[in-house]
Structure 1
Amino acid sequence: MNFQYQYPEAFWLLLLVPLIALLYVVYILWQKRTTKRIGEPKLIAALTKNHSPLKSRIKFALFLFAFALGCLSLANPRKPDDASAEVRKGIDAVIALDVSNSMTATDVQPSRLLLAQKLLTSLIDKMPNDRIGLVVFAGNAYTQMPLSTDHEAAKLFVSTASPEMVPEQGTVIGDALLQSNAAFEEGSQRFKTIILVTDGETHDEDALKTAQDLAKKGVMINTVGLGSASGSTILDTLTHGAKKDESGQVVVSKLNEDLLQQLATSTHGTYIHLEAVAPAIATLLDQYKNVDKKALLDTSGLYYESFYWWLVLPMALLLLVELFVSDRKKVSA
């Protein structure tokens, strides 16, 4: 790996170097004009005979060079230790997790969402070499975590997912699939898969077409369905009773298995009706067992050797020299 700078934005400070130099030139010109206006040249020369313009400019040049070195040191030049990087052979998996209000239904225990979270945290532990991303969705879809090998962070995001994260309610599966696909690196040769975890209760007519388009790009969608065919009422957070529609009828949320099966089949994936965590994980991992797992250089654990001291030390030396350089002429005895 090549030499690099940790904070390249510090280079913008170098723009101050020509600005400071310009201000110094303006100051010198102003000083000369002012000197001419305040008295006789001979008198001014006598009063300033001990001042050395050359030494003053040398002092300024030392300061300006030290300032530039300081800017470069703030960028923290460093070199990674290639031996500390890990090569991981795996796949890229984006989890699309439904956090709509219907996922709070309790036709599965302890609730659809809590069971989904239990599944996903266990699944992430079983995919140590894979990059994991997370998209949460309800009425809108949001990327909660980009693809990463930081599995502890992935589990944390999964465990804290809730309906409050998405202000607009609903279930836009098509948008969730598009947002998940956007998380994949364009041009990457690694196997791409979306794990869609939802009750499938949606009026999104574009969901199946979106899945078919993704299949043409080589994306496999595995769907995990939560809930029951008979359905369950949803808790209304305002009334703390069963949620009702505009006509006053109690809302019953049902698992839409047909759609989830179609989404999976159209992308050569599999559909799982989640009832128990262990067999669901085994089925998902079996889907990825025989796929081509490309090598990925994981740089998240890289050790870097910093070289900013190589700039700080000469900067300090220049400032020290500037401090002891006098701008007065040597007077002959």
Structure 2
Amino acid sequence: MLRFAHTEFLWGLLAIPLLILLFIMVSRWKRKALAAFGDKNVVKLMMPEVSLSKPWLKFILFIIAYGFLIVAAADPQVGSKMEEVKRKGADLMILLDVSNSMLSQDLSPNRLENAKRAISQLIDNLHDDRIGIIVFAGQAYVQLPITTDYSAAKLFLNTINTNMVPTQGTAIGAAIDLGMQSFDFKNGMSKAMIVITDGENHEDDAVSAANHARDKDVTVNVIGVGSEEGAPIPIIKDGKQAGFHTDSAGKVVVSKLDENMGREIAAAGNGVYVRATNANSGLNIVMEQMGKMQRKMYDSKTFKDFEDRFQFLLALALILLVLEFFISNRKSVRLSNLKLFEVKEKQV
């Protein structure tokens, strides 16, 4: 298994296209400058030792060396051994509302980003529990299957946005049903869901779905995000706010937190309901309740003994840079004098 210890350095690879573009522009400028002196063949005779191909060779070597240096700085590591580890934990599925109403800004910076920040903190505090993520609006989709790879969980979490689900709405019941389908009930582990939503469910019977989950010994907890006063729903275009959503009468739509719905779902799912605020996400209260769940031993395969591999890339980069340094921009005198295909005239 390959991983990078410092992925932030990989952003340096974005400079490669810019360097190539800059080199091409400079090369074109040089050609135009030489053309301004006169006929191309005459200019070549005036500069017999100047090579037109070697600068390209030197640049190619430099770009390859630069790429190797950037990847080496990111510290690639290889997992040399797979181990089967005994863990004791439970299965946790996060059901995150990504409908447009989650962009309302009655929580800072908005409901969705506030929820994502809380989930990220939750992942940081997990140890041996397995976690999965489902996103939903008018439909529900599995964003991350149940896993113990917390790094992958945070990576997938960062990509979540309101454009992921094309059908608008808030189908909490469909999300709970999909969560039930995603669990492996044969492993006998305790299972729970955390629904994070503003509670405006208009699509299905979420309470009935929570009842079904409770019958299967799956706890359904609900965290309500938003406020009872509500806030308008921004329209985002090209990353910028472009007004607010309006109804058919032209009035600005105000999205309000439906706490009654959240309480009903939590009660039906034998879980707890907590309202999130800017100061408290509510996840700590839910996790306290989940701490009472029974953990079960399970097997987990994981890579151990990761070894650094940056040395090889660094060595290659240094070799290429030394080679580039010793390549001259001038033609080789011996090669220039070697005319294999020149036909000599016979003397009479």
TM-score interval (norm. to shorter): 0.5 to 0.7
In the alignment, which residue of structure 1 is the partner of 2:191? 192
Name the stretch that deviates more: 209-218 or 238-247: 238-247
Give runs of aligned pairs for residues 102-117 of structure 1, distance below 5 A. 102-117=101-116
The alpha-carbon deviation at position 170 of structure 1 amounts to 0.9
CA offset digits 1:259-309 (Å, max 9, x no partner): 111111122211110115657232122112221100111113378xxxxxx
Aligned-residue offset at 1:86: 1.4
Match of 2:284 among 282, 285, 303: 282
Number of the residue aligned with 2:214: 215
Give aligned pairs, total. 223
Q: Per-residue deviation at 1:205?
A: 4.0
Deviations 1:119-167 (A, max 9, x none): 0000111111111001001111000110000011111211221011111
Structure 2 CA distance for partners of 1:244 and 1:91, relative to 1, 3 Å: same
Stretches of structure 2 that go unaligned for 5 or more consecutive residues are 1-79, 306-348
Q: Secondary structure at the match of 1:236?
A: strand
Aligned counterparts of 2:102 and 2:169: Cα–Cα separation in 1:
11
Distance apart, 1:252 and its partner CA: 0.7
The residue that corresponds to 1:123 in the other structure is 122
Structure 2 Cα separation of the partners of residues 267 and 279 of structure 1: 20
Distance 1:235 1:281 in 2: 26
2-structure distance, mates of 1:251, 1:231: 10
Seen in structure 2, the aligned counterparts of structure 1 residues 277 and 128 have a Cα distance that, compared at 3 Å, is farther
Name the SS for the 2:96 alignment partner: strand
Which residue of 2 is the match for residue 246 of structure 1?
248
Structure 1 residue aligned with 2:297 = 295
2:234 maps to a residue whose letter is L
1:81 CA displacement: 7.3
Partner of 1:150: 149
2: CA distance between counterparts of 1:96 and 1:227?
16
Q: Which residue of 2 is the match for residue 21 of structure 1?
A: none
> d(CA) in 2 for partners of 1:278 and 1:300?
34
The percent identity for this pair of structures is 37
Q: TM-score, normalised by structure 2?
A: 0.61
**Pair 1:279–1:173, CA change in 2 (3 A):** closer
Report SS of the residue matched to 2:176.
helix
- Corresponding residue for residue 268 of structure 2: 266
Describe the SS at the equivalent of 1:237. strand
Residue type at the aligned position of 1:247 = A
CA contact (8 A) 1:138 1:168 kept: yes
* 1:257 matched residue in structure 2: 259
Alpha-carbon distance in 2 for matches of 1:266, 1:222: 10
Whole-Å separation in 2 of the counterparts to 1:202 and 1:94: 19
TM-score (norm 1): 0.64
Of 173-182 and 245-254, more deviation after overlay is shown by: 245-254
Tell me which residue corresponds to 1:61.
none
Question: CA-atom RMSD, angstroms?
Answer: 1.9
Q: Secondary structure at the match of 1:174?
A: helix
Determine helix, strand or coil for the equivalent of 1:299: strand
Structure 1 position 249, deviation (Å): 2.1
Q: Secondary structure at the match of 1:87?
A: strand
Give SS of 1:301's match: strand
* Cα-to-partner distance string for 1:89-145 (whole Å, 9 max, x where unaligned): 111001000111000000111110011011000011111111100100111100011
C-alpha distance in structure 2 between counterparts of 1:155 and 1:297, whole Å: 22
Contact 1:119 1:277 in 2 (8 A): no
Whole-angstrom CA distance in 2 between matches of 1:131 and 1:220: 15
**Alpha-carbon distance in 1 for matches of 2:168, 2:302:** 36
Structure 1 stretches of at least 4 aligned residues deviating more than 3 Å after TM superposition: 276-279
Tell whether the 8 Å contact from 1:118 to 1:277 is kept in structure 2 after alignment.
no
Please tell me whether the aligned partners of residues 111 and 226 of structure 2 are also in contact (alpha carbons under 8 angstroms): yes
Distance 1:220 1:277, change over 3 A: farther
| Corresponding residue number in structure 2 for 1:71 | none
- The residue type equivalent to 2:88 in the other structure is K
Instruction: Report 1:149-168 matches (<5 A).
Output: 149-168=148-167
Of structures 1 and 2, the larger Rg is shown by 1
Moved more, 170-179 or 151-160: 151-160
| 1:231 equivalenced with 2:230 (yes/no) | yes
Q: Give the match's secondary structure for 1:187.
A: helix
Name the aligned partner's letter for residue 171 of structure 2: V
Structure-2 separation of matches of 1:248 and 1:135 = 33
Q: Deviations over 1:29-59 (max 9, x none)?
A: xxxxxxxxxxxxxxxxxxxxxxxxxxxxxxx
Task: Give the Cα separation in 2 of the matches to 1:81 and 1:164.
Answer: 39
Encode CA deviations 1:193-247: one digit per residue, 9 max, x unaligned: 1110110111134111111111100010111110000111001235811111223
Per the alignment, residue 136 of structure 2 pairs with 137
